[in-house]
Amino acid sequence: MALSRVCWARAALWGSAVTPGSFVTRRLQLGRSVLAWGAPRSSKLHLSPKADVKSLISYVVTTTKVINGKYHRFLGRHFPRFYVLYTIFMKGLQWHLSEMCTKIQRGIHPAIHDILALRKCFCNHPLGMNQLQALHMKALSRAMLLTPYLPPPLLRHRLKARTTVIYQLDRALAKLGVAQLTAQEVKSACYLRGLNSTHIAEDRCRTWLGEWLQISCTLKEAELSLLLHNVVLLSTNYLGTRR
């Protein structure tokens, strides 16, 4: 029975035809089974090269500025009154996003409230799940240890499916409680969510996993792009990581 559950969980994570409803009803049963196969097997395996991480963060900032610049000019010309209110709200979010990415590039680990403050940036263009550009999705695929050599529609479908499964597992894990996990299960859970836990002490892994769950369990399904990017945002500068 345990083996069949592991196989089922693997199939769900890799995008098989498992229905979301059946997954939700059984996720509490499957939480530990999924953790059992996600463990790092080699200290030489890294989730994403440091250069790729820096490039991804820079790409997020640059893409947001360029696309939003065009959108701002369009609103300013055609909807001047609305544009005044829009800029007051959005410029604050853009500044916060740029500031946090700059801190990450300088080696600072972001706080939970700083990441959650950006949730609206990841709902729509250009950082929403359905609006991500091809190069952006390729970089995210590498961060998730997925091959980037697929057509954009397949990259988007697979990233969305993987993130949705992790999102559902997070809720099951939050109900179970991190304290109930063994040391190996904690490291496996961290590894599945983007943290190279091979060289990190168990207590620090539990702390990081707790931070991840605080963020994940606060998000709505429309904000799953933030959870996907959290693989980079939350893990890049965590204490003890080696990339």
- The angle subtended at Cα 128 by Cα 123 and Cα 130, nearest 5°, is 125
| Structure confidence at residue 144 (pLDDT) | 85
Q: Determine the structural domain holding residue 161 and report its residue range.
A: 46-233
Give the pLDDT score at 54. Answer: 59
Q: How many domains does the chain have?
A: 1
d(C-alpha 57, C-alpha 100), whole Å: 10
pLDDT (0 to 100) of residue 27: 47
In a domain, 79, yes or no: yes
Phi, psi of 22 (to 5 degrees): -65, -30
Token pair for residue 16? 């098989």
Spatial CB neighbours of 156, under 8 Å, sequence gap ≥ 6: 129, 130, 132, 137
Residue 19 inside a domain? The answer is no
Residue 17 falls inside a structural domain: no
User: Can you give the pLDDT at residue 98?
Assistant: 79
Residues of the chain with pLDDT under 50: 1-30, 35-47, 67, 75, 82-86, 88-89, 242-243
- Euclidean distance between CA atoms 201 and 217, whole angstroms: 24
Q: Compute how many other C-beta atoms are within 10 angstroms of the C-beta atom of residue 222.
A: 14
Question: Quick check: 23 and 168 in contact, CB under 8 A?
Answer: yes
Structure tokens at 82: 């609305």
pLDDT at 181: 95
DSSP, res 221: G
Strands (E), 76-133: none
* 35-58 pLDDT, tens digit each: 444 444 443 334 455 556 656 676
Contact between residue 189 and residue 38 where contact means Cβ atoms under 8 Å apart:
yes
In a domain, 34, yes or no: no
Least Cα distance to 170 among 215, 226, 111 occurs for 215
Torsion, CA 126, CA 129, CA 131, CA 137, rounded to 10: 90
